Structure 1
Amino acid sequence: MRSITYTSLCAAAIVVMILAGSQAAMAVTCQVTQLAPCASAISSSSPPTPQCCAKLKEQRPCLCQYMKNPNLKAYVSSPNAKKVANTCRVPIPKC
Structure 2
Amino acid sequence: MGYRVVNAEEKAEAIRLVVEMNYSIPKACEAIGVGPTALRRWVLCWRREHAGMLQPTRPQDQALIESLQAKLALLEAENQVLKKQLPSHLKVLFGRTK
Query: Under TM normalisation by the shorter chain, which class is it?
Result: 0.3 to 0.5
Instruction: Name the one with the larger helix percent.
Output: 1
Normalising by structure 1, we get a TM-score of 0.34
Which structure has the bigger radius of gyration?
Answer: 2
Greater relative contact order structure (CA < 8 Å, 6+ sep): 1
Normalising by structure 2, we get a TM-score of 0.33
